[in-house]
Every structure is written in structure tokens, then in C-alpha cells.
Chain A
Amino acid sequence: MRSVLPVLSVVAMILGLWYAACLPMNIKGVLTEAERAGATVTPEGGKARRDMSEFALLVANGFAIPATWAQERPRLPAPHQVAIELWDTTVMKKITSKRSLVYHGWVTLSATLLGFVIGTGLGILLAIGIVHSRVMDMSVMPWAIVSQTIPIIALAPMIIVVLYSIGVQGIVPKAVISAYLSFFPVVVGMVKGLRSPDAMQLDLLRTYNASNGQGFWKLRLPASMPYLFASLKIGVAASLVGAIVGELPTGAVSGLGARLLAGSYYGQTVQIWSALFAAAILAAVLVGVLGLIETRVLKRMGMT
């Protein structure tokens, strides 16, 4: 708890920097708009201002400072603008509306969760296979490890299009991407976890003449839990990124990725930022929920 004050200070510092950054980022746009609206701006004419430093413009046009935090399409929206947009598009809109971020968030979240569950399930199964079979271990494990070092997300656009061409659309293609992105971290983490009992603990079970299955259920599986949860957290974050990226190539109209892309097409910066924050909140909630389950499970098992 003693880190509450430091964390709040750091967050306040970030917000302060953000507001400060809005000044130079937005001043040129603000001045152009002001001039068009008939205000006197020094120096006059966009051409004269183009090569001036943002700082000099701020000094010369102090009156425009509040406007840098209130533009409709700023280069960098101020924190409160993003917060208001988030509020408007979540709480104030009906969730069935195409402009509701809850709706878009749910589209992305459902694909994320479906893919995550599939990827995790398959990952755990493969990990069990790897731990129990030497040949699987030696054949597959190196490739699973290598897969962690390459940007497999690059496959995403192709998967969407290939599945589309054989008639699969909607949630499934995105879920496939989410699934394979969470699959590999879970395999690697789970294998590590199932192998975490040391030789002494395994020897102890041998003295009881325990079967392979008993060794798995009574020792390996419980021992793997901390590792499993660590990789689940990585996996769910990867799944979410996968679902978002999966919404980019087909010109999808719903989902957080679609909001990001549409925002960048039409220069709706506030919309981009609010979609970005919605994705961030979603990620934080997913990781947080997994963390809660982790503490509950580990506590139940007496491991914390």
C-alpha cells in the first residue's frame, strides 16, 4: 500500500506531461482555425507560421492556449477530451448502437475470449504431450520456442482472407488468430511448469510407487499452476492484440480495431484515442481478472 502515493504521483506527472504536450502539438492547427474564424493571430497567414517553432507561436499567441485542449480534431487530444468521449460512447450510448464502444469492445472481446480458450486448451494439451513423450519434446519444443521470437502476428491478414475465401467470416477468423497467438506462450510456460517439480519430489513419488497419472495429478499439475497463470496473462494480452489486428485487413466495421482504422482514415483523433483506451482498459481487466483467479487458486492450494 505504500506505493499508492508514488503511483499516483507518477500518473499525475504523466497527465501533466500530456497536457503540456498538447500545447506544441496543437498550436498550429488552433491558430489556423482561429484565423479562419476572424481572430488576429501573430504572425498572420499560415505560410508565415509554417516554419516557426511551436514554442515561439505559443509565446506570441498566449490567448490560444486553452483552445489547444479543446479542438475538435486535435493532433493530440487532451486527457479530458478522451475521457469525455469514452464516457459518451460507453455510458451515454445504447450498447446496441454502432457508435457505442461497449458494442465494439464486445465484438473484439468475444473473439479474444473464444480464441484464448481454444488456444489455451490446445496449448495445455500439447504441453502435457511434450512432458510425457520424449519424441514430442525433442521434435516440437524447439519450434515452439522459436515461434516466440518471430512476429507470427504477420500471418493475421492472410488468415482472415483465406478463411473468408472458404466462406468463414465473423468471429471465427479473429478467434483463430487469437488462439494461435495465445497457444505458444501457454505451451512454453506450461511445459516449464509441469517440469518444475525437482528430482527429490519426483523420487518421493517413486518411493510410493505412484503411477504416471498420479504423479501428474498430484504433483506436476499443481506445481505448474504459477507458471500457467504467468503465461495465461501473456497469452490473453496477445489474444487481444490478435483480435484487434484481425479486424484491420477486411475493412471490418465493428470492433476496436475497426474503430482505430476508421479513426485514422477520417482523422478522428479523439475516436482513435478512445478506442485505444478502451483496448487498454479491456487488456487491464482481462489481465486483472486472471490475476484475481490466480490469487484465489494459489491461495486455495496453499501456494502463496
Chain B
Amino acid sequence: MILVGVALLVWGLGWWVNTRLAEGPRAQSRAMQLLVPVIFGATILLVWELLVRGLQVPLVILPAPSLIAQRFAGSLPILWADFVQTILKGALGGYVIGCAAAFATAILVDRSDFLRRGLLPVGNFLAALPIVGTAPILVMWFGFDWHSKAAVVVVMVFFPVLVNTVAGLNETSAMQRDQMRTYAAGYWQSFFKLRLPAAMPFIFNGLKIATTLALVGAIVAEFFGSPTVGMGFRISASVGQLALDMVWAEIVVAALAGSLFYGLVAMIEKAVTFWHPSQRS
């Protein structure tokens, strides 16, 4: 009970500190924008730890953060192998293939107005469907190993990237196209010098959406069958053994991988579309 009381105290303290900081004079500074959410996150972790210990929550319901951290540190080789299998091979492999295929299709479609008008609604429709459900089919076709996971990822990322790229390539104004005409520029000249750069913010929007989808696809596809390695496999196997500390450790890996992947694409975006109003500060 003491620990529960401490937990409540920690929560109040964390909130009080954050309130002071958020209403303080330097709230707009970069450091504060970072510090406040970090304090909030740390408070949650601490309260979680104290409550789990104080109420003696059994491991099979909710393991304490310290236990998860312990498990994480103790299982690094397994986690790394799972990470390589699911993220580097399945998700990243599928992401690269899927995005490249979507991009190539977008360029093909772009030359025909008829195709574009037909494909955009169909693509938008398909992008909203629960495509992850194709996993059992693709597992059946490509086997249990990472190839089938990559195939699921390809299908999942294809439509969002395609739709965004096609939309982006049409972002130029009538004036910009007229200007290219006055230079008597050819198709590829105006493609590379005008339309592709102008499309970049849209393309990156699609690429960013696709990072999360890639991870979801690779992990969920493993629920339909996988070799004895991989994050999705480990999660479902550990859930079966009620080893929830391992499940949480995998979720930590998934969270880190997801943020890292997204952050990486966002960084490239910043470098490529530095000129866009949303990137200038």
C-alpha cells in the first residue's frame, strides 16, 4: 500500500513539475518541448513500476518495467535475430520493393490521363482495405520464411505510395507547365526538372505512411506462420507461454524500430524538401 501511495505521489509530482515548466517563461524553447514529454514518459514508467509492485500484479497480466528492461538486456541475441528477420529482411525488403514498384507504376500511369483517372479511385479504395488479410495467402505462396512477409509488405505499401506519387506528379500549376512549353522542354526534361521535385513532398508523405504499414505487415504476417525466429513469431509464442516480459521486450524493439525507420525517412525528407514551407522554420 505504501508503494501505491508513493505512485500517486510521483504522479502528482510529475504533473506539477510539467505544469510549472509548461506555463513557465521558456515553454516555447526546444529543450522544454523535449523535456516535458520525457518527464511525462518517465513518470508513467515509474508509476507503472510502483503500482505493479505495490498491488503485486502477477507477471501474466502486467510485468513491471524493470522486469521488461531486465529481460530486454538478457535476451539481446534473440531480440537482434528477431529484428534482423522481421525488420531488416521482411519489412525493409518489402518496403524497398513495394515503393520502387509503386513509383515505377506511377510513372507509367502518369503518361496516360485515362489510366490515371481510373487508377486513382481504385488505388484510393484499395489503400483503405485491410490488406494485411492477404497474409495467409502470401504465406501459402511464398513459404514461411521472410519472403512471404516481404510480399505482404509489398502489397501493403504499394497503394499508398502509388496514390501519393500520382497525385504529387500532378501538383504543378498551369503556369509552370506553360513556362516549360516556352522553353520547348521535352517530357523527361519537365519531368526531372519540374514535376518530380514538385512531387517530392507528396511522395515522402506516402513513404512515411508506408514505414508504419511495413512494420505492421511484417509482424502480423508472422501470426499466420513463420520459422522459429521473428518478432511476430516471438510475440505469439511468448504470449502462449505467458512470458509477457518477453512480449513487452519485443514491443519495445518494435517501437524503437518504428520510430527509427520513420525518423530516418523524415530526415531524408527534410534534406530533399528543405524548400517546402512545412520544412522551413
Interface on A for B, CB 8 Å cutoff? 2-3, 5-11, 14, 75, 134-135, 137-143, 146, 148-151, 153-155, 157-158, 160-162, 165-166, 233, 237, 240-241, 244-245, 248-249, 256, 260-261, 263-264, 267, 269, 272-273, 275-276, 279-280, 283-284, 287
Contacts and interface: CB of A to CB of B under 8 A. Distances in A.
B61 A135 contact: no
A241 to B, nearest CB: 5
Pairs A-B, 10 closest by C-beta atoms: A6-B118, A264-B136, A150-B258, A10-B118, A139-B40, A149-B262, A135-B22, A142-B37, A151-B215, A138-B36
10 contacts: A10-B118, A142-B33, A150-B259, A153-B219, A245-B223, A248-B223, A249-B239, A261-B224, A279-B130, A284-B129
Given A138-B37, A154-B232, A283-B129, A272 B137 contact: yes
B136 A272 contact: yes
B23 interface: yes
Contact of A154 (B19, B23, B41, B219): B219
B133 A287 contact: no
B139 interface: yes
B279 interface: no
B212 interface: yes
Nearest to B41: A143
Nearest to B58: A165
Given A139-B36, A157-B223, A264-B225, A3 B140 contact: no
B158 to A, nearest CB: 13
A134 B23 contact: yes
Contacts of A9: 114, 118
A208 B263 CA distance: 44
Interface string B107-127: 000000011111111100100
B102 to A, nearest CB: 15
Contacts of A160: 239
Given A3-B121, A7-B118, A280-B130, 13 more contacts: A6-B114, A6-B116, A135-B19, A149-B212, A149-B259, A150-B259, A151-B215, A153-B219, A260-B133, A264-B136, A264-B139, A272-B136, A272-B137
Contacts of A138: 18, 21-22, 27, 32-33, 36-37
B134 A276 contact: yes
B254 to A, nearest CB: 5
Interface stretch (B170-178, B242-250, B270-278): B242-250
A2 B117 contact: yes
B56 to A, nearest CB: 14
A152 B10 CA distance: 27
Contacts of B125: 284
B130 A283 contact: yes
Contacts, number: 173
Interface in B212-234: 212, 215-216, 219-220, 223-225, 231-232
B251 interface: yes
A interface, over-half SS: helix
Nearest to A248: B223
B80 interface: no
Contacts of A272: 136-137
B81 interface: no
A162 B235 contact: no
Contacts of B236: 157, 248-249
B207 to A, nearest CB: 12
Contacts of A245: 132, 220, 223
B188 to A, nearest CB: 25
Given A139-B36, A142-B37, A276 B251 contact: no
Given A157-B236, A158-B247, A151 B128 contact: no
B211 interface: yes
Contacts of A14: 122
A233 B128 contact: yes
Contact of A135 (B18, B119, B261): B18
Nearest to A143: B37
Residue picked from A161, A240, A287, most chain B C-beta under 10 Å = A161
B133 A264 contact: no
Given A3-B117, A3-B118, A287-B128, A151 B133 contact: no
B216 A264 contact: no
B117 to A, nearest CB: 4
B254 A150 contact: yes
A102 B108 CA distance: 40
Contact of B231 (A154, A256, A287): A154
Given A9-B114, A264-B136, A151 B216 contact: yes
Nearest to A8: B118
Contacts of A273: 137
Contacts of A261: 136, 224
